Structure 1
Amino acid sequence: MKGQLIIYILFFLSSLILQGQQEFPEGRALFPAVDSWHEIGIDPLHAEAMRAIDQPKGQPWQFAIPVKVSLNPDNSGFIIRSDNETVWILPVSSKGALSLNLILSPFRLPKGAYIYIYDPEKQVVRGAFTSESTAGTRSLPVLPVPGDRLVLECHFPGNVIPENSIGVSQVAHDFTGFFGPEGIKDYYYGRSDYCEVDLKCSTNQNYLMASRSVVRLIVAGSELCTGVLVNNTGNEYKAYVLTANHCIENDEQAENTIFTFNYKSPWCSGPDVSNMYALTGSLLRAENPDIDFTLVELTQFPSMVYKPYFSGWDITATPPTNTFSMHHPEGDVMKLTIDDNAPISTSYPVSGFLDLGFWRVLRWETGTTEPGSSGGPLFDQNGRLRGTLTGGGATCSDPTNDYFAKLSMMFNVTTVVSSHLRPWLDPAGTGATVAAGRDPYGYNLSRSDTLGGFPATVSGTTDAYSSPGWGFSTGNNSDGLMRYAEYIPFSGTGEIAWLRLRVAASSLLSATDSVRFYIWSGGSQPGPVIASRKLKLGEIKSGQVLEIDFGRNIKVTAPFYAGYSVYYRTPPDQPHPQFAVMHSSPWPT
């Protein structure tokens, strides 16, 4: 008999982990039958007219029409009661919408209450949302679900729904297509123009590190922009995001913005992958329309699995030698834009802005910017932040004349605390003109252990079955094996950050084919599921070192199992595609 290891795990022992997540494992959804829908009633001609608009730069990229409503358990939907809970069901419809999203307000859930939101086909299920999903804010914006119908399912313990605990204040009707044709994930890959370049097409370490600071903004359920995490001189654990003022102008928009981290393709030139790294809500700290900036502080600090990086900055008057930007044009996965030359100091060519308050990029050598890129960072040759995008005329056919608000002017434009950056990014008043970037979890990573499996430096092997058998020893095969688990004999207290596997083969028969990764409790065989995550096989490539997290660090105090289960809609046979992972060389047991 032979033994082999297929998984290696990045594991943290007695480390301080700050969690930041929206969705929690809580209760279960009922998915009741629905025969009546609350219709929002967007005029199809209005949606078509919005779709036909060529949206300019210098403003957020609008993907949905917001509709203000006032829906609550007293006036909408229906109630399901049981012995121990009361459930409010609100079915919502907006004919012709490509997706729908909600802003929940009020959002004051009591302990034990939780919410799910999903489309009727249950392709996307958001939640559970609990009182922990916000940090004291009054509302909760929720990521879109596909199609023109959704169901809001609110569970309350006992037989009473507390007054003013839950309601819907806005429904947004998507007229551009937030999801792809399969309708199962955020599918903006490919929406931007032909000259845009995926980040993974570069190996420059400045680019790769800075990319971890770039976030996509979904503002008030209807608009898309870009922002950047920025460090402060005190290295305080404050998650500041800098963006354009024309993206976030007031407290309500700040509170109802969703911040998406690491939304980028793992490949050069696609494909896109599903993204689960989103935080909701922020507090407005400073804003100034004269220099077009807004600084917000996230109400939750991003978790380690978000891999945040807080960009350093430079507010000296010396122009950069060369620059680069990373941004989300038309909401697409992150794109890289490069100027090999120095920008010039200038004024924005529209009245109402501060004189000489902008960097003008004369011509991009790589890529361009587009609507949705607003608020995107301008980095210098050292990877330090120098400004944020206001607008300009650059396109793929003529990549010239983009304007970035100067970070240096944001520090010195006024002495009003709420209108400049210095009180927030230099809280001790050190007068620093240059600040280093910071990885808030670098210390934790230095204390991590790798458990099980084999290291990344070992390529591994895989065993194909001999005829008349077919398949692989670590994938689907003629023995009917579809699920694999590896026992991890752990003791003590720790947190699992990631599973890593080297993919030997990955291909699909249908768009729904997938693999789900698990952490199970230990014993003589895998016990209850502690955590799981599904990836579609279309998101995985042969030869890939696949890193899987579960949206949060997973605490364990005893032995556990890690593994995966393969799903094919149509069971494959010998001539059909396969999925398998590499394992270590067998050893006698």
Structure 2
Amino acid sequence: MSNNLVKYSILLLLCLLHVNVSAQISSGGSPLPYKHPQPSEKARKVVATESVTNFYYKLPVDTNKTLPENNLRVLYTGTVCNVDLSPTNSGTTFTTEDGTNIWRVGMYSPNAASISLIFSEFNVPDGAKLFLYNPSQTIVYGAFTSANNNSHNTLPIRPLDNDTIVIEYQEPMDAAFKGSLKIGSAVHNFESSTSATRKVRQFYYAERCSPHTSVWEGAEPIKRSVCILYATGTSSAWWGTANLINNADKHPYIYTAAHNVDETNVEHHVIWYFNYEVPAKDTLVQGSEEFTMASSEVIARDFTLDFALLELNQMPPKDYRPYLAGWNLTASPTPPLTCIQHPQGDTKRISQTTNAPVISTFDGDILNPVQNSFWRINRWQKGTTEPGSSGSALLDNNGYIIGALTGGNSTCDSPVLDYFSRISYAWDYYQDASKQLKIWLDPYNTGITQMDGADPYENSHPCARTNNYTDTDEMSIIYIGNGISGLLAGHNSLEHTAFAEKFSFDEDKLLYGAYVVPCIGKYNSSAPVYLNIYNGTDVPEDIIGSAQIHPQDLTFVRGELGTKDKVTLTKKENYIKFDTPIKVGKTFFVGCQIQYAQIDSFGIYAVENRTINNSAFYQDDNGWHSYTEHSYMPTNTSLWIEPVVCFDDISSVQNVNDNASNNFLVSPNPTSDKIQWESTNNEIGDEVYFELFDIQGRLCNFGKSTLVQMPPAKGIYILRLIDGINTEVHKIIRK
């Protein structure tokens, strides 16, 4: 097994301390090793005597506080605590050998299912990184960087499932300015962020009568506009639903109910979750929750019409595969009518009626509703709505938005009387621009009364989630048999060490990440699992990208906080995003590398006895083989691995004139030190983000500064300038 040991060492180098990272748009990297004692009550006292004064801050939770109750379809889950924590008054600060300045502070809230934060001050220089993690660093959010800077200088961070968290800020010695950070509030969530439920948040707690969007024929692409919102107010936190909505200038606008953002500046404290749904192949498999964003502004809102229009700080990234929903101002919508929602904060579900809506007025918990400005659904023939559905769009027979859910009391047993605010009233009932949709969705006053939906990246190479299985293929747990124990694509007595799926395209691709769906996914510290990207033609060859998969849970044992292995990979879509898109060319392989120990604990779903060509491969001591060559179970199969890929515009820059530019001027080029870019198009806004890659596709620098420091190595680099929708690519020569 010496070959495997060598490969294992190479993997360790490739992974570069990669951890399980997910949060609002983050830029990769890792926090420093964490060596403080685990934050049990006993350990907290010890920490206080080890020159880390007040390192762990206990949230001042009012245990007698109750959450709001009303007939709006909002799901309230947490209570807000005002805090004032910054590098100058809390935690510990120190400097590493390379001069990086570090601030760390811990926070705990006994019996919290999760903790979320609001940075009331957040403005950091290029090169600085902020992380949030549990004490064992098995859950890490970040890095949050200068790319997260915004006009209101705040940063909300989504719930981390633990009652104890650590915040770490890293600032380079040569930073352009000293970062400004202050935690202004934290939320003690009574229910886990893993999936919302009525009392204990668990996956699959929405009412079973509401079908999943993944099995609804008309869901694509409109379902990609739907998102969850998690809002932190002054005293409580809540969950609702919203939609990206199309407009003339393709701004990242979000349409929802006004009561979902009913406090001053609460929009600065909202986390948006995209793509949370079960896969059609198996609706008992939990969807991925890695696609999140933060930072938004309310640009129009009125409570008497119960609508709100917000603008995200930037368009969701390409690998989020966003869609801007169309809309229709008709007063007589054609059924069937559909509502796509996140009931109980769960995966996307639908409710549908074959009856026309009734013009009505909402008689519930909003003040002075405008008469006849609501649609009433008398009865759903499919599904219902629930707390957490609030703000979800009502769609006509063409999938156009005609309203947003305000409230009601429908259930599976009695799916009647839900109310939606009418988009036609929100259009121009009030003349004030801050209380209407028209000026924002039709800024050129064209007089249109409906607009088709659109992919915001349709002109700049949108990403696609791809796979090799067919509609009739069934994913199975396949055991080898014939005297051999274990899984065909997992641990087995043959000690096969890797499994990979082949993908081929007609043009070069960039791989942003991949979904992996294990049938067994228990973490074993003696046998770590890696997601690998390979080049090759007929079989996998060299590893060109790798990330370790390492899930764990925290647990209390005799009053002390510790860790335990968890099975969160099992029967879940796990999206592994690489810090830098990987240049994979036209043909590549995506797979999992496993190690062997006393306890074997990993395997991937695969298609059993497929009738078309094989697309999967396995590795043993003699190299890679097609599954059709398997000694004990030769078969055509396909693994449940789905990469997210886009057209490779980095490689295509080789054919671009060095000085060609549509929207930006970059100089000097060639350069010996720095380059500077500036916009040549007055329509380009202030929110421009740059990424600098080397010719191998590795990310070298990023941020919003117009002055870009080049790496010391001479050669060709790729500069990507992104204005939210469009991407412009320049070839830079470092001499």
Same fold by TM-score, threshold 0.5 exceeded?
yes
> Residue 334 of structure 2: SS of its match in structure 1?
coil
Q: Which has the higher contact order (CA 8 A, sep 6+)?
A: 1
User: Contact 2:327/2:402 (CA < 8 Å) preserved in 1?
Assistant: yes
Larger Rg: 2
Give matches, 1:405-424, under 5 Å: 405-424=421-440
1:109-258 mapped onto 2 (5 Å cutoff):
109-158=124-173, 165-179=180-194, 188-200=202-214, 202-205=215-218, 207-220=219-232, 222-232=237-247, 234=248, 236-249=249-262, 252-258=265-271
When structure 1 is superposed on structure 2, of 113-122 and 248-257 the one drifting more is 248-257
- 1:197 alignment partner, SS class: coil
> Do the aligned partners of residues 485 and 526 (structure 1) sit closer, same or farther apart at CA in structure 2, a change above 3 Å counting?
farther
| SS of 1:127 mapped into structure 2 | strand
Q: CA deviation at 1:490?
A: 11
Q: Which position in structure 2 is the counterpart of 1:554?
A: 581
Q: Give yes or no for the alignment of 1:380 onto 2:392.
A: no
Task: Give the aligned partner of residue 377 of structure 2.
Answer: 361
Which sits farther off after the overlay, 555-564 or 330-339?
555-564
Aligned-partner Cα distance in 2 for 1:273–1:264: 5
* Matched residue type, 1:220: T
Aligned residue number for residue 29 of structure 1:
32
Aligned pairs (5 A) from 1:427-446: 427-442=443-458
- Cα distance in structure 1, aligned partners of 2:163 and 2:242: 29
Q: Which moved more, 1:286-295 or 1:105-114?
A: 105-114
Q: Give the TM-score taking structure 1 as reference length.
A: 0.81
Distance 1:153 1:112 in 2: 14
Shift in Å, 1:325: 0.4
Partners of 1:578 and 1:65 lie apart in 2 by 40
Give the C-alpha shift of residue 247 in structure 1.
Answer: 0.8
Give the conservation status (yes or no) of the 8 Å contact 1:99–1:179.
no
Task: Name the stretch that deviates more: 558-567 or 100-109.
Answer: 558-567
Q: State the match for 1:565 in structure 2.
A: 593
SS at match of 2:258: coil
Shift in Å, 1:476: 2.2
CA distance in 1, matches of 2:602, 2:627: 25
Tell me: CA distance 1:327–1:587, structure 2 relative to 1, closer, same or farther (3 Å).
closer
CA contact (8 A) 1:98 1:179 kept: no
Cα deviation digits, residues 222-262 of structure 1 (max 9, x gap): 21111011111x2x231110011111135621122111111
Q: Which whole-Å CA distance do the structure 2 matches of 1:425 and 1:551 have between them?
A: 35
Q: Deviations over 1:248-299 (max 9, x none)?
A: 1356211221111111122565342341111111121111111011100111
Q: 1:454 to 1:225 in 2, by over 3 A?
A: closer
CA contact (8 A) 1:519 1:531 kept: no
1:566 Cα deviation (Å)? Answer: 4.1
- 1:259 corresponds in structure 2 to 272
Seen in structure 2, the aligned counterparts of structure 1 residues 193 and 551 have a Cα distance that, compared at 3 Å, is farther
Structure 2 residue aligned with 1:8: none
Alpha-carbon distance in structure 2 between the residues aligned to 1:90 and 1:442: 43
1:90 maps to which of 88, 105, 109:
105
Query: 2-side partners of 1:290 and 1:163: how far apart?
Result: 44
Instruction: Give the 3 Å change call, closer, same or farther, for CA 445–471 of structure 1 in structure 2.
Output: farther
Work out the CA distance in 2 between the residues paired with 1:465 and 1:196: 38
**3-state SS of paired residue (1:29):** coil
Tell me, yes or no, if the aligned pair for 2:127 and 2:175 is still in contact at 8 Å. Answer: no
Is 1:73–1:88's contact at 8 Å kept on the other side of the alignment?
Answer: yes
* More displaced 10-residue stretch of structure 1: 416-425 or 311-320: 311-320
How many Å separate the matches in 1 of 2:462 and 2:134?
A: 42
Change (3 A) 1:166 1:577: closer
Distance 1:64 1:515 in 2: 35
Give how far 1:159 is off: 8.8
- 1:42 maps to what in 2? 61
Q: Secondary structure at the match of 2:420?
A: strand
SS in 2 for 1:142: strand
Three-state SS of the structure 2 residue aligned to 1:295 is strand
Query: What is the distance in 1 between the residues matched to 2:504 and 2:127?
Result: 34
Distance in 1, Cα, partners of 2:61 & 2:32: 29
For 1:369, the aligned partner's letter is T
Distance 1:393 1:180 in 2: 22
C-alpha distance in 1 between matches for 2:605 and 2:260:
44
Q: Deviation digits for residues 116-163 of structure 1, max 9, x if unmatched?
A: 111123332111111113444411111111221110011111299965
Q: Quick one: structure 1 residues 82 and 377, their matched pair in 2 at CA, closer, same or farther if it must change by over 3 Å?
A: same
Which among 87, 91, 94 is matched to residue 73 of structure 1? Answer: 87
Query: Hey, what's the Cα distance between the residues in 2 that align with 1:294 and 1:70?
Result: 30
Q: How many percent of aligned residue pairs carry the same amino acid?
A: 26
Q: Amino acid of the residue matched to residue 209 of structure 1? A: P
Corresponding position: 1:400 with 2:416: yes
Q: Which residue of 1 aligns with 2:339?
A: 325
Provide the rounded CA distance (Å) in 2 between the counterparts of 1:500 and 1:59.
Answer: 32
1:231–1:436 CA contact under 8 A, matched in 2: yes
Aligned length: 546
The structure with the greater share of residues assigned to strand is 2
Q: In structure 2, how many angstroms separate the alpha carbons of the residues matched to 1:327 and 1:463?
A: 35
